[in-house]
Amino acid sequence: MFIFLLFLVLPMRILLVLVGRTIPGFNELADRVGSTFRSPMSLKLIDFPLTRSYRGKRGQYDADLFLREMAGSVPSGVKAVFIVREDMFSKPLNFVFGLAAEDACVVAAARFDPRFYGEAKDVKKAGALFKERIFKETVHELGHTFGMPHCDDKRCVMVFSNSIEDVDRKGVEFCGRCRKALKIEG
């Protein structure tokens, strides 16, 4: 006699942490990320923590150190995304849009704002572009926390972005191969 057991595996919970300053469409971002990963979402707003990661000479935060300092606050069984409005770097790179390590990642939103490049003539378009860029990077970095490497498909959200033009060019979704690896269908 065979006994079949059915285990319901719930998706990993994702914690979206807005650090310091607000971003437009934070709740909408959470909804889109939850839908993309088919995962329950939690939201948290925190003040910018006292951190040793700021480098005054550069005017940037060290993303590696920031992530190490913040990772201790991530509950077990949760993937966490820290979204900051600051500019960040990770040696040897001059800047990063985001960085992931194990179950946590940081998204550095400063360079997603068209005003960073002096391109904010149409406020409505600039706001929409800012939100789209943050969404892409959040999905990208979360993909890394689930073990996804960079993808060669230029339209896949997991393609490496070396410039803001690269971010704008890539798609908002995983390619078929990445969806299959993540076991996300549809």
Q: Which residues are catalytic?
A: 141
Which two structure tokens, joined as six digits, stand for 28?
A: 């909408």
The rounded distance, in Å, linking the Cα atoms of 185 and 25 is 26
AA identity, residue 8:
L
Distance between start and end Cα atoms, the chain: 37
